[in-house]
Each structure stands twice: as structure tokens, then as C-alpha cells.
């Protein structure tokens, strides 16, 4: 802590590492149809490359509140990058789907530490009146990675092999590790909190069982014993986890942050918007490639303009947040997202490429108004001693929401596609098996998008009841004084 903090250099290294983490998470999305054919697996199985990545994130992120108290910024960041490097190497050489998934899960373990760490550092080194702008810059990098990811992946897969996605990533991660060893400094004090093993077991079992249940519902059906048992057991473990966090003197994940109304409402809206965002990242490539025959590169190029606009609007929305607060931005953003989601609920074999590109731009403009502002508003509402827990809670629920969102839309897509296929056969309007598969898949995709419209409308209604701004600086000072008084009495 004696070293002067060079904000620019510190954030550059952290953002570069975060950029590679997010790029790793999203770069395979447009390659999923190709990987389905190469490894001869179904859509329900292949989605685990995305869902499994986010599940490990979701399991690991609750532990990061403990890790950020126990280890230094430098130790945590370098450890996460080493895990990312190891996973990238395994993915590059993976001879089968099982090893590819293993590499993805190791990558996810590294990526899971990064985002809460980055948010915590931002909260520490920037004053409250500049956090919107700082988080906007963070959003620029976080969104720029998925923006170039699909196009980059499309170009590499079309001209080389999907393995080059990871071979090319390897030296970049190694460079970040070298920069971190040389320049990264610590920005937070460490302590020696006790690690609650029981809480880790409960959260892992809970999140794992719930997600496994959702993921298998598409193939096996919602009424099957496996799905019902997984969902029931998962919910039970999560309830036990929450009870333990509320009764523990030193909780693994302090869910008392939900006592703050602003934090709770922003988190719920964040969950719903995240489910919609990840659902679109899975549904659109499957529709474009499997149902319409577009290449991976064409899919990436369609997604690129919207994602770039989203990335470059993020710092703008950060400045607008500092000036106007979260509520007006969230309402504007959700109106755009509702329009974009509704625009793909009636897809057909004739839906034009340019229409889908414009629709994706509208969706991404909406996302830029809501994603980082709503996260910042929730964290700003919390007193300083709850920042690490607020960051961990926010990232945990977002990753789990993304996982469940993907699992749900793939389940809806699979179930409705089967149902539409049966209806088309019964009607006798389909001439060939390929036409049957294409038409039923397009109808199933439209049904899955109707589900996302419902989610966004719920988020919009919640936003109308949101406070215009987070708790005032004076309120947070009073809360912090109460916390310090309580701590003094306890000691």
C-alpha cells in the first residue's frame, strides 16, 4: 500500500486480462454448430461449453469475496491468468469433447476471479462521483471482447481451424502475466478471514443441481424424475446456503446486501437483462447457421456493428449515469431491448440479413444504456465495507442468470422444435426431411424469443418502481459509522 497507485497502468493491465477472459467466454458461441458436427454431439450437450463456463464462474464468484480479503490484488490476478493460460493450452490440443469441456472449465475458474476483482479495484481507486465514467470504460472493454469475438472466430474457423482460437490466445495471456509480474500493485488491505467450507459445498451443490436440471429438461422433459430431483435438490441446497449466510458471523457471501432496496432492484433487473443477452448470443448463431445456412464468418459480421456500437456507447452511458442517475437510462435501454426482442418473435426462412443486423444494433444500443449503469447504481448504494460482497453477489447472480437463461432458451428451442415438427408432419405441408427440420427449428427459435420478450417486460415494469438515484453520500456515511460502532463494540 506504500507504493503510489498509477490508476491508468493498473486499470490497463486489469482490463487487458479481463478482455481476454471475456473473449474466451464468448469466442466459441459462433463455433457451436461446427463443434456439434465435429464431436457428434447435440445442441443440449454442446451448450455446456457456454453453460459450464458460466456455471464454474457462478460457483467460484461467491468465494471471491473471501479471496479478495485473504489475498492481494496481485496474487489473485496472476493466479486467474495462470488458470486461463492452462485452460487455453488444454483447449488448443483437445482431441475430444470431454477434454475441450475440461479446458473450458479451467478457463472459467480463472475468469471467475477477474470480474469481481476488477469491480472492487474500480470502487477502491475512484471516488463515487466518477465511478459511472470509470465503469463505462470498464464496459467498453467488456463489451468490445464479445463484439470482435464472433467475427474473429468466424474468420479463423473459415480459413484455419477452431483450434487456432486458442493457439492465438495463448501468447496474449502469457504477455498479460508478464506485465502483471512487472507492474501490478496491490490496492486493498488483506486480512485472515476463515473459509467456510460448508458454504462452498452448499453453493456448489445448489447451483450445480439447479443448472443441471434446467439443462436436461430439453432432452428428457420437465416431468422426468432426473429433472425434478435435480431442481428440488438444487433449490433445497441454495435455501440452506442462504440460511447459513444469514446466521454466520463471517459469511462467505454476505447476502445482507439485499436489505438495500436499490441494490435488490438493480440486481433483479440485471438478472433478467443478462438472461436475455445470453439467450440472444446462443439463439441467433444457431438460427443463422443451422436454419439459414450462413457461415460462421457471415454470422460474426452480422453481430459486429451492434456490438461495436454497444462498446463505444458504454463510456457515454457511464457519463450520463454520473449526470442523471440510473432510472432514465434503464427505461430508455429497456424500450430498445423490448423492440429488438419483439422483432425476432416471427422469424421465417425469408427474414433478411440486413433486417437482423439492424435489429441487433437496436438490441445493443439498449444494452449499452442498462448493463454497466445498473451494476454501478447497485454497488454505489452499498457502504464501503460491503463493496467486495456486493461485487461478488452481483457477479454471481449474473453468471448464474446467464447459465439458466441459456439452459432455458435451449430447452424451449428443443421442446418447441419437436412440437412444431410433429404439427408439420400431421398437416402434411412439408415435402422433405431437411425442409421439416429447417421450418420446425425456425418456429422453435421464434418461440424461444417470445420468452425473452416476457423477461424484458418484467424488467421494464420493475424499473418503473426503482428509486431515481442510489442512497446519498450522507446516508452511506451514517451506515458506515453504524458498522464501525458495531465492530468496535464486538471487539
59-72 residue pLDDT tens:
776 777 777 777 88
pTM, rounded to two decimals: 0.73
State the Cα–Cα distance between residues 166 and 158, nearest whole angstrom.
15
pLDDT of residue 1: 41
Question: What local confidence, expressed as pLDDT, does residue 157 receive?
Answer: 81
CATH no., domain 7-195+252-490: 1.20.1250.20
Q: How confident is the model at residue 430 (pLDDT cuts 50, 70, 90)?
A: low
pLDDT at 229: 93
- pLDDT given for residue 363 in this prediction: 93
Task: Write out pLDDT tens, residues 102-115.
Answer: 998 998 888 877 87
Terminal C-alpha separation, the chain: 25
Nearest residue to 390 (alpha-carbon basis) of 272, 274, 251, 486: 251
- By the 8 A CB rule, do 301 and 45 touch? no
**pLDDT at 474 exceeding the cut of 80:** no
13-25: average pLDDT: 83
How far is 242 from 246, CA to CA, in rounded Å? 6
Do 460 and 331 form a contact (C-beta atoms < 8 A)? yes
Exposed, middle or buried: residue 461 (CB in 10 Å: 0-12, 13-18, 19+)? exposed
- Contact at 8 Å (CB) between 276 and 452? yes
| Cell numbers for 439 | 421450418
Span 260-271, average pLDDT: 89
Find the radius of gyration of the CA atoms of the chain.
22
The answer to whether residues 166 and 91 touch, using CB atoms and an 8 Å cutoff, is yes
Q: Where do the structural domains in the chain lie, given as residue ranges? A: 7-195+252-490
Q: What is the mean pLDDT of residues 147-153?
A: 75
pLDDT digits (tens, 9 = 90+) for 195-204: 778 888 888 8
Amino acid at each position: 500500500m506504500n507504493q503510489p497507485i498509477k490508476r491508468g497502468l493498473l486499470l490497463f493491465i486489469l482490463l487487458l486480462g479481463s478482455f481476454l477472459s471475456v473473449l474466451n467466454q464468448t469466442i466459441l458461441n459462433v463455433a457451436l454448430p461446427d463443434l456439434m458436427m465435429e464431436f457428434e454431439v447435440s445442441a443440449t450437450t454442446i451448450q455446456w461449453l457456454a453453460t459450464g463456463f458460466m456455471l464454474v464462474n457462478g460457483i467460484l464468484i461467491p468465494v471471491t469475496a473471501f479471496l479478495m480479503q485473504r489475498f492481494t490484488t496481485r496474487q489473485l490476478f496472476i493466479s486467474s491468468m495462470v488458470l486461463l493460460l492452462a485452460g487455453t493450452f488444454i483447449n488448443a490440443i483437445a482431441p475430444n469433447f470431454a477434454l475441450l469441456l475440461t479446458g473450458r472449465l479451467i478457463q472459467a475458474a480463472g475468469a471467475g476471479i477477474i470480474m469481481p476483482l476488477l469491480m472492487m479495484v474500480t470502487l477502491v481507486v475512484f471516488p463515487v462521483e466518477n465511478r459511472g465514467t470509470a465503469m463505462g470504460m470498464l464496459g467498453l472493454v467488456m463489451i468490445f471482447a464479445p463484439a470482435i469475438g464472433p467475427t474473429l472466430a468466424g474468420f479463423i474457423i473459415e480459413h484455419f481451424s477452431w483450434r487456432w482460437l486458442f493457439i492465438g490466445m495463448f501468447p496474449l495471456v502469457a504477455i498479460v502475466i508478464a506485465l502483471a509480474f512487472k507492474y501490478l500493485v496491490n490496492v486493498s488491505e488483506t486480512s485472515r478471514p476463515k473459509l467456510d467450507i460448508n458454504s462452498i459445498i452448499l453453493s456448489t451443490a445448489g447451483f450445480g443441481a439447479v443448472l443441471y436440471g434446467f439443462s436436461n429438461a430439453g432432452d428428457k422433459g420437465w416431468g422426468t424424475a432426473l429433472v425434478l430431483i435435480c431442481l428440488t435438490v438444487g433449490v433445497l441446497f441454495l435455501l440452506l446456503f442462504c440460511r447459513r449466510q444469514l446466521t454466520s458471523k463471517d459469511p462467505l457471501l454476505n447476502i445482507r446486501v439485499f436489505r438495500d432496496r436499490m441494490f435488490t432492484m438493480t440486481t433483479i433487473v440485471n438478472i433478467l437483462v443478462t438472461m436475455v443477452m445470453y439467450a440472444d448470443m446462443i439463439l441467433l448463431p444457431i438460427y443463422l447457421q443451422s436454419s439459414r445456412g450462413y457461415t460462421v464468418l457471415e454470422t460474426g459480421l452480422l453481430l459486429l456493428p451492434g456490438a461495436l456500437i454497444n462498446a463505444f456507447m458504454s463510456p457515454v452511458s457511464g457519463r450520463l449515469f454520473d449526470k442523471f442517475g440510473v432510472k432514465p437510462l434503464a427505461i430508455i435501454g429497456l424500450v430498445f431491448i423490448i423492440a429488438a426482442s419483439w422483432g425476432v418473435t416471427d422469424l421465417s426462412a425469408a427474414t433478411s440479413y440486413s433486417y437482423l443486423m439492424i435489429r441487433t444494433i437496436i438490441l445493443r444500443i439498449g444494452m449499452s444504456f442498462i448493463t454497466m449503469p445498473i451494476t454501478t447504481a447497485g454497488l454505489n448504494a452499498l457502504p464501503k465495507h460491503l463493496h467486495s460482497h456486493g461485487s461478488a453477489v452481483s457477479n454471481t447472480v449474473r453468471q448464474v442468470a446467464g447459465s439458466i437463461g441459456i439452459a432455458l432458451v435451449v430447452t424451449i428451442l428443443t421442446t418447441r422444435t419437436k412440437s412444431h415438427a410433429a404439427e408439420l408432419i400431421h398437416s402434411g405441408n412439408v415435402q422433405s426431411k431437411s425442409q421439416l427440420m429447417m421450418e420446425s427449428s425456425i418456429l422453435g427459435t421464434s418461440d424461444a424469443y417470445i420468452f425473452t420478450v416476457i423477461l424484458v417486460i418484467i424488467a421494464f415494469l420493475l424499473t418503473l418502481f426503482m428509486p431515481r438515484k442510489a442512497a446519498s453520500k450522507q446516508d452511506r456515511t451514517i451506515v458506515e459509522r453504524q458498522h464501525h460502532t458495531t465492530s468496535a463494540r464486538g471487539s
